[in-house]
Amino acid sequence: MAALHGKVVVLEFWATWCAPCVAEIPVLNSLRTATDPGKVVFLAVADQDAATVQPFLKTHPIDGWIGLDTEGKVFHSYGVEVRPATVVIGPNGRIVSSSVPPEQLHPEQLTALAEGRPVTLGGAVDPAVAAKLRTATASMMQQQGMVGDGVCATPTAMGVSVSVADLPAGTTDPETHIFPEGSGNIDITNASLKVLLAYGADIPSDRLNFVGEFPEKTFYNLHVHLGKASAQDRREAVLIAIKSATGIGIERKTETEKVLLLKALPGAQVHLDSSQVPGVAGYDTKNATLRCMNASMDESAKAFGTTLKIPVLNETELDGKLTLSLPVPRGDVAAVKSALEKQAGLTFVDAQRPIERFIITTEAK
């Protein structure tokens, strides 16, 4: 587009129902006010229709351009699966960053990028801004009916709860919303049992074995907020809550089997970002693409395992977040390994390790 040529474009993927997206609107508006519109353009893209977006903008105005991508083509082009997602494009039309959130961007950085000066995007988040984001997110979730009375507790409420989602009769494919809050705390709404186990209990989907017939039209809400609890304690608490609410049986089986160890090659750290925004990783079966968006090494390893149908264990000892999109066939270890070595400085090593698998049955035992 001629109007964008030679300018920095801050491309924000959002939705009216996404509480963190709405909380970031004032941050983006402040960035736009503090930058020269002749050098930096802000473009907010939603995959909803005008009838939904226009009324929302009357109460939550967004400074900058608004794009409606009802067919999801732009989302797909940029590999966006989780919202909010921020992509910064340089004056040359190339992506500079897809993992630095608005609260970590600074006006002087965007200006330097627009003027062709060397710059590293990102940095510390102003504590006052961070506090406002948390408050705004909690408020938005309350307004959306995601709190209280059997739906889902507020983000600050401690504990674990599971309830049946209150959906219109006949709903077969509701929008599932996943709100990670860092350190394993998460809120999930309108989700299937498989999603609760995979994302709530943090069990790689390739280690879940379902036996029997499961109701396909029952959807649940899950709230997990256990403060500084260990990952193991958090998983056990979530499994107890899911089992109690759904009546399923959960058996465990541990055997030593073939695994892939995720290792770092020299220089791997340079491919990672320091974003504090919770991430997600997974395999897009429709488009045969492995995607990581602000994903930690543990989250990435689980996604690699799901893609390859072989357990992948993280032994990189790396901090930071990984963002990449790899069009690779599912189950093709050689293709995934080659792509990771070239694009992320990561590799696989064959090994044998004890692996725990979960057998899910329709009746609790």
pLDDT of 159-174, one tens digit each? 889 999 888 888 887 8
* Strand bridging mode 280-284 / 322-327: unpaired
Note down the domain range covering 29. 2-128
pTM: 0.57
Domain assignment present for residue 133? The answer is: no
Show which of 95, 128, 161 is a domain's final residue: 128
Domain assignment present for residue 98? The answer is: yes
Domain assignment present for residue 205? The answer is: yes
Are 7 and 121 part of one and the same domain?
Answer: yes
Domain assignment present for residue 158? The answer is: yes
Domain assignment present for residue 265? The answer is: yes
Please give the radius of gyration of the chain, using alpha carbons only, rounded to the nearest integer: 21
Are 117 and 13 part of one and the same domain?
Answer: yes
Are 30 and 71 part of one and the same domain?
Answer: yes
Q: Based on the structure, what is the number of domains in the chain?
A: 3
CATH number of the structural domain spanning residue 64: 3.40.30.10
Domain assignment present for residue 299? The answer is: yes
Are 6 and 109 part of one and the same domain?
Answer: yes
Are 75 and 183 part of one and the same domain?
Answer: no
**Tens-digit pLDDT profile for the chain (365 aa)?**
667 888 999 999 998 877 778 888 999 999 999 999 999 999 999 999 999 999 999 999 999 999 999 888 898 888 776 678 889 999 988 888 876 888 888 999 999 999 999 988 877 777 777 666 666 655 555 554 444 332 333 344 678 899 998 888 888 878 787 777 666 678 888 888 988 998 889 888 888 899 987 767 789 999 888 877 888 888 999 999 999 998 899 999 999 999 999 999 998 988 887 766 666 788 877 678 888 877 889 989 999 998 999 999 999 999 888 888 788 999 999 999 999 999 899 999 999 999 999 999 986 44
